[in-house]
Chain A
Amino acid sequence: MEFCAHARAIAKREWSAYFHSPVAYVFIVIFLALAGFFTFSVGGFYEAGQADLRGFFFWHPWLYLILVPAVAMRLWAEERRQGTLEMLFTSAVTPAQAIAGKMAAAWGFLALALALTFPVPLTAAWLGQPDWGVVVSGYLASLLLAGAYLALGMFTSALTRNQVVSFVLAVVGGLFLILAGFQPVTELLARWAPAWVVDGVAAFGFMPHYEAMQRGVLDLRDFLYFGSATGFMLFLTQLVLANRTGR
């Protein structure tokens, strides 16, 4: 099928583009180093005396907040700056195909980085008896969260030819989505806004859904949330690209 063939070709190109630049290596090293640092030093993994990965997954939203926009920022901004966007969209490629390909490559790359954290669950297994169901659901939640951040970064990248602008916009957007469900923020909001606004804003947040899956609760609604948040931002990306190129 043409859609798949085009998306696959683009995904392959993007994937190798990561590894042809220092981005991939820098990202993986920093991600693993920070994940380890927060889990073992800041999170008090050993002191907690529990064989679970709470302390590990707890930090992922914050790591992704900074690191995922760094992975996403070049996706469209670079094409725009180099002018290759014009070549891509005159080679019988539709924006949807290109978005699918880029998303697959970048998400696959984040999945690879996440998979390389395997020593953390192994450590827990060595020290005790972790609940593997919770570990798997934690990884799943983290992957979905990364995808949602990525879609946001993809959208901000499509907005501009400047990677720095894209990065900053994605971080601010991500921060909003983290804090939207955060207690101090909802309380602050509740002082003056009507309840439905507070609930509405809170419903946008990543955290309630992420935390539920962290605890090993696999609720269809959480999947729907991440699916629709990601899908919506990809849809916005498609709108921006279509508007720029006329499709």
Chain B
Amino acid sequence: MTHHSWKWFLAVAFVFNGLMSVSGKVLEEQGLNGYLKIYLISYHAVAMILVALYMVWKKQTSVSNTEWVLGALIGITSFSGLAAMLRALNSIDGIFVFPAVWGGSMILTAVLGTILFKEKMNLKIAGAIILGITGLILLL
């Protein structure tokens, strides 16, 4: 794979990240919302097994305490976000839900980064936040 450029790798990541969200939409459109927990455990268990196999292949079989704590915190919050996004798809159009969640969370992260981590808030970031919020209002 080393002959590929970073843009090619990023293109693959872009497509599969989009397809991951599409899988949630498929669940909703197929009327399988009642099986959300089954979808979510399958999603996480398959990813866990594949990561475990890759770790064995790479001969990295340990997980540090910090990785366990932060991994669990990331897992619980991102799982909650995914579950809530799929619930939102029950009553709101996907054309609003996906941009609102992915765009909105990046905007909110910028705001929280400024508040919690004292990251700089310049005119460009402020403008981006205003543009994003305006975009979300127009999507409604």
Q: Is A bound to B?
A: no
Question: Which residues of A come within 8 Å of B, CB atoms?
Answer: none
